[in-house]
Amino acid sequence: MLPGKPKSKHRSGCPVSISLEAFGDRWSLLIIRDLMVRGYRTFKEFEQSGEGIATNILADRLRNLQASGIITTEADPVDRRKRNYRLTEKGIDLAPVLLELLVWGARHEDTGAPCATIEELAKNREAVLAEVRRRWRDRDATPFLPPFQNRGGGGESR
C-alpha cells in the first residue's frame, strides 16, 4: 500500500471479488431480479415474493444494496409517505448478468422455467436487454417475466 493512500475496504483488487461483495449473495440477486423483471418496488412485495426471505435479512440486503449504489429509494407517486425501491444506473447495468444467470440456470439445473421461454430469451439477448432497460427508464413496473413454479408444484423457484 502506498503511503497516504486510504486502505481499501475490499478483500482483493479482483473485479469479480469486488462485484460479489456488492451484490453476490442470493438474497441480493433475487431483490435485483424482482426489481428488474417482476416490477416489484416495495418492501412488502419483496417480502411476499414467495422466496421466504426473513424481514430482517430483507431489510439488511436492501440497506447494503443502497449503500453500494445499486438501488435507491424514492417517494411513492400516490402516497408520498411511502418509499419505493428502484434500481440505479449501476443496478440496471446488471441486466446482462441476470439474463445470463437465468439462461445458465435453466440450461443446467432442474428449474420451473419453461425451456421455450428461456431459449427465446437466449436467442434475443439484445432485444431482451433493451426492453428491460426501457422499462427501467420509463419506470414501467409491468412484470417482464412471470414467477416460475417450483418443480414440486408450489411457490416460486429460487
Instruction: Supply the pLDDT for residue 140.
Output: 93
If asked whether residues 22 and 75 sit together in one domain, one would say yes
Residue 60 lies in a domain: yes
E strand segments, 27-77: 71-75
Instruction: Supply the pLDDT for residue 158.
Output: 41
If asked whether residues 71 and 112 sit together in one domain, one would say no
Specify the CATH number for the domain of residue 85: 1.10.10.10
Residue 135 lies in a domain: yes
Give CA 15 to chain center in angstroms.
19
User: How far apart are the C-alpha atoms of 145 and 99, rounded to whole Å?
Assistant: 11
Residue 155 lies in a domain: no
DSSP secondary structure code for residue 34 in this structure: I
User: At 134, is the secondary structure helix, strand, or coil?
Assistant: helix
pLDDT tier at 154 (50, 70, 90 boundaries)? very low
Residue 19 lies in a domain: yes
Instruction: Supply the pLDDT for residue 156.
Output: 45
The residue among 127, 147, 133, 152 whose CA lies nearest residue 48 is 147
Residue 145 lies in a domain: no
If asked whether residues 119 and 101 sit together in one domain, one would say yes
User: How far apart are the C-alpha atoms of 121 and 26, rounded to whole Å?
Assistant: 22
If asked whether residues 85 and 53 sit together in one domain, one would say yes
> How many domains does the chain divide into?
2
Instruction: Supply the pLDDT for residue 155.
Output: 45
Residue 6 lies in a domain: no
Mention every residue, 6+ apart, whose C-beta is less than 8 A from residue 45.
Answer: 34
User: Residue 111 belongs to what domain range?
Assistant: 94-139
Would you state the cell numbers that stand for residue 87, as one nine-digit string?
Answer: 434500481
Residue 150 lies in a domain: no
Q: Which helix (H) or strand (E) holds 30?
A: helix 26-33
Instruction: Supply the pLDDT for residue 145.
Output: 83
If asked whether residues 72 and 107 sit together in one domain, one would say no
103-144 pLDDT per residue, tens:
999 999 888 888 888 899 999 999 999 999 999 999 999 998
Instruction: Supply the pLDDT for residue 8.
Output: 57
Residue 1 lies in a domain: no
How many Cβ atoms sit within 10 Å of the Cβ of residue 40? 21
6-33 pLDDT per residue, tens:
555 777 889 888 888 888 889 999 999 9
Instruction: Supply the pLDDT for residue 40.
Output: 95
Whole-structure pTM value? 0.82
30-84 pLDDT per residue, tens:
999 999 999 999 999 999 988 899 999 999 999 999 999 999 999 988 998 899 9
- Average pLDDT in the 136-157 region? 73
